[in-house]
């Protein structure tokens, strides 16, 4: 198979961002540990991600070394996005978040111009000053040529997209006809912190926080208000396909409970069930998942028109990601849809 391949989840960071995190007084923090070449990205007092210089250099590299790794894996294009902690996780330092977002978007724009056949960009947006954040999103799309916006699943304790203060940003995304890549970050509920990153990170916490964010959006009526809004979920849908349709729609479809007037009075009054919203407004990617039975299941639930390629580089192995999709037994038609055609329908493609 020689189809074009577009990676929708490829992260980068900057040394300036690490320097900023090292000086913060509030979480998230970047902490130099006593052991040689040992650092922790500390999201809470319990949850931290260990990093060393080698990994930090890979994460910050957006030049020749990254392209060499892409070539070795047979990957044509990466849509670059600023990693976690993102500018939308810097509460309460809202001024720094806004200035960092603009700076990062300018840097990413220069990268896309330097490597126009290899890199596209997802905007980094600080959500805290919504009026100016809408302007920055519009600038990133209409002036810088970015193909979407990567947002994290919470913006601080109890700060999720269902809060109407953030809805002007969702309205702008719908009007600009761009997708929002809803990327997980650490859930801030204390119950997820007891076992550190092993619980609060990718094994469970990341997926559950992203799923929680999307379901809160659905129940709040976001997709009634913005019916054309498109959301992308990584990691084969952040566990949500496994709840479809009967569990995720339980409050609206259970033949015994859902018809009771008292229950109807208490449940969110939305025009479409959660599974209908997911099937109509949500795309999922393959990032960080390497199971053929899982891919087969998600194809059956979501359909081949709603799945796209992603690697989660450099947190996941680029060669493993690309080898998985190439050896998964997909037909040429399905492979091409996943690797570039579905993304192109969302405007995620190289300029003509």
Indicate if the pLDDT at residue 348 is higher than 90.
yes
Mean pLDDT computed over 65-92: 98
* Per-chain mean pLDDT for the chain: 97
46 falls within a domain: no
Q: How many domains does the chain have?
A: 1
Torsion of CA 277, 278, 281, 284, to 10 degrees: 170
Rg (C-alpha) for the chain, rounded Å, is 20
Q: Which of 18, 23, 10 lies closest to 67 in space, CA to CA?
A: 10
Active site residue 312: yes
Interatomic CA distance for residues 232 and 181, integer angstroms: 5
The string of pLDDT tens digits covering residues 53-76 is: 999 999 999 999 999 999 999 999
Q: Which of 61, 148, 147, 79 lies closest to 118 in space, CA to CA?
A: 79
pLDDT value of position 16? 98
Mean pLDDT computed over 105-126: 98
190 falls within a domain: yes
For the full predicted model, state whether its pTM sits above 0.85. Answer: yes
CATH number, position 287: 3.20.20.140
The string of pLDDT tens digits covering residues 334-346 is: 999 999 999 999 9
pLDDT value of position 2? 56
22 falls within a domain: no
Q: Which of 85, 222, 242, 83 lies closest to 154 in space, CA to CA?
A: 85
The string of pLDDT tens digits covering residues 200-217 is: 999 999 999 999 999 999
The string of pLDDT tens digits covering residues 172-195 is: 999 999 999 999 999 999 999 999
Indicate if the pLDDT at residue 1 is higher than 80.
no
Q: Which two tokens stand for residue 172?
A: 């702008």
The string of pLDDT tens digits covering residues 248-289 is: 999 999 999 999 999 999 999 999 999 999 999 999 999 999
Interatomic CA distance for residues 195 and 55, integer angstroms: 23
Give percent of the chain with pLDDT exceeding 90: 99
- Backbone angles phi and psi of 179, in degrees to 5: -85, 155
113 falls within a domain: yes
The whole domain housing 183 covers 6-12+62-345
pLDDT value of position 352? 81
Q: Could you say which of 71, 129, 312, 332 is catalytic?
A: 312
Mean pLDDT computed over 90-108: 98
43 falls within a domain: no
Mean pLDDT computed over 309-315: 98
24 falls within a domain: no
150 falls within a domain: yes
What is the 8-class DSSP label of residue 341? Answer: I
């Amino acid at each position: 198979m020689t189809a074009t391949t577009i990676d929708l989840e490829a992260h980068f960071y900057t040394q300036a961002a690490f320097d900023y995190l090292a000086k913060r007084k509030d979480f998230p923090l970047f902490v130099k540990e006593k052991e040689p070449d040992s650092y922790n990205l500390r999201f809470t007092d319990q949850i931290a991600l260990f990093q060393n210089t080698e990994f930090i250099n890979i994460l910050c590299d957006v030049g020749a070394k990254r392209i060499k790794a892409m070539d070795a894996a047979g990957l044509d294009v990466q849509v670059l996005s600023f990693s976690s902690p993102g500018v939308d996780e810097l509460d309460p330092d809202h001024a720094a978040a806004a200035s960092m977002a603009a700076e990062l978007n300018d840097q990413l724009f220069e990268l896309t111009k330097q490597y126009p056949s290899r890199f596209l960009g997802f905007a980094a947006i600080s959500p805290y000053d919504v009026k100016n954040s809408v302007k920055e999103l519009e600038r990133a799309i209409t002036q810088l040529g970015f193909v979407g916006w990567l947002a994290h699943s919470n913006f601080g304790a109890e700060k999720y997209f269902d809060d109407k203060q953030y809805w002007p940003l969702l309205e702008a995304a719908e009007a600009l006809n761009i997708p929002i890549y809803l990327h997980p970050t650490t859930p801030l509920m204390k119950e997820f912190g007891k076992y550190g990153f092993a619980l609060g990170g990718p094994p469970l916490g990341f997926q559950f926080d992203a799923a929680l964010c999307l379901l809160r959006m659905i129940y709040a009526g976001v997709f009634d208000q913005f019916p054309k809004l498109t959301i992308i979920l990584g990691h084969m849908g952040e566990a949500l396909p496994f709840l479809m349709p009967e569990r995720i729609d339980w409050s609206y479809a259970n033949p015994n409970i859902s018809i009771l007037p008292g229950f109807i009075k208490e449940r969110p009054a939305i025009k479409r069930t959660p599974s209908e919203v997911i099937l109509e407004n949500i795309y999922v990617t393959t990032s960080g998942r390497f199971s053929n039975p899982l891919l087969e299941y998600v194809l059956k639930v979501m359909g081949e028109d709603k799945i796209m390629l992603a690697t989660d580089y450099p947190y996941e192995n680029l060669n493993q990601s690309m080898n998985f999709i190439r050896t998964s037994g997909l037909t040429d038609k399905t492979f091409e849809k996943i690797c570039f055609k579905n993304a192109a329908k969302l405007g995620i493609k190289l300029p003509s």
